[in-house]
Chain A
Amino acid sequence: MPDDQTNLLASSPPDDQRLRDAMLAMPLQSPPHSVLPALNARLAKRRGQRAQRRWIPLAAAAAACALALLPWLRGGDRAAPIATLQSHAADDNSAAALIAQNQVFEDALRSASFGSRPLSARDALVGADIEDLIGMLDLELSAASDQAISTDLWQQRLTLLQELAAVRARSTNAKLTAQAVDLQPSVYQLN
């Protein structure tokens, strides 16, 4: 601050307005370095934590689906997709990870051979609806150019695949239980 301004302030009688003006005229200060990089890093970390929290129920659902599919997998080679499925469920939800999880679910659904088993009419309709929705998502995915949108679509697709697996597992499980009950007398007869 220039000396003449200081002298002006020091002159009596005291003048509040002069003090105010002098303070207002003081130059702005800048931080030694921008906090923007630290801010962005902090926000990125927060986004990661939020995504992880969102993924927890999804991972739980995936694990539940995997367990539901387990009885329908025959032999060691069919157990592999489920194991992979469970391990992938704990991963992050980046686009690449989501795509891989989608693939794992599709493989698991195929290897479980649900298609050869009769479904209830209601489950068949629900399953068909989910497949239609997946088809629509595939169309959107083929047109999506934005990475964030694409990631979101893959996430939605994964959720639909999980629902589809749950529907098929429930239906076939019920069917098998009924068959097992029907077969019981025959088994006893054979023995």
Chain B
Amino acid sequence: MTSFAIDIPASLLARLKAGEQTALEQVYRLFEAPAYTLAWRLLGDRDEAQEVLHDAMLALIDRIGQFRGDAPFWGWLRQICINEALMRLRKRRLDYVDELPEPEALARGLQPAIESADLERALESLSPTARSVIWLYYVEGYTHEEIARSYDRTVSFSKTQLARATHKLRELLEVKKSTAAYA
């Protein structure tokens, strides 16, 4: 289950809605790591991930009055974080490009000099779009429909991105295994 799945007490939510600063601090501490991790996985940039964390918390304060409690609070907050991160991805103008790492780049990522390539490294080697789709699907449990909505694209976009990203991830890890075997 996603690390975001943290239920907060109704009293904390009520205090948050009342604008209590201590409530915001409590919520921040609960969700700091999940929100930052999610943003980092989607963006692949620590500075931007930190900005997303900041902006998502501001958005939380602005929109808390709109939270009706139909769905878990964490899911609502997670969607805010995802929206903030995807907005930044779009600004980069790299969005929706089906680019995958060049074979040379893949090889570089797997050379002994940066041999610490593991799943983490493999994920970093993916394109931002591929990485964010695969993360939303596998870790956050998003459906293809939900991913398509988040990107304002079709379901096939999500399926294609996921298939390619999964294939590439496996390939990267496979190459690593082979490299290790020959070393």
Contact of B166 among A19, A34, A42 (CB under 8 A): A19
A53 on the B face (CB < 8 A) = no
Query: Main SS of the interface on chain A?
Result: helix
Chain B residues contacting A19 (CB-CB under 8 Å) are 138, 166, 169-170
Chain A residues contacting B170 (CB-CB under 8 Å) are 9-10, 14, 19
Query: Main SS of the interface on chain B?
Result: helix
Residues from 106 to 149 in B contacting A, C-beta threshold 8 Å? 118-120, 123, 134-135, 138-139
B119 x A26 contact (CB < 8 A): yes
Chain A residues contacting B135 (CB-CB under 8 Å) are 23
Residues from 157 to 173 in B contacting A, C-beta threshold 8 Å? 166-167, 169-170, 173
Interface residues on A, range: 20 to 34
B53 x A31 contact (CB < 8 A): yes
B67 on the A face (CB < 8 A) = no
A1 on the B face (CB < 8 A) = yes
A51 on the B face (CB < 8 A) = no
B78 on the A face (CB < 8 A) = no
Chain A residues contacting B37 (CB-CB under 8 Å) are 28-29
A9 x B173 contact (CB < 8 A): yes
A35 x B120 contact (CB < 8 A): no
Question: 20 A–B contact pairs at CB < 8 A?
Answer: A3-B118, A3-B180, A6-B119, A9-B119, A10-B176, A10-B177, A14-B166, A14-B167, A19-B138, A24-B139, A29-B37, A32-B46, A32-B50, A36-B28, A38-B54, A39-B24, A39-B54, A40-B21, A42-B58, A43-B21
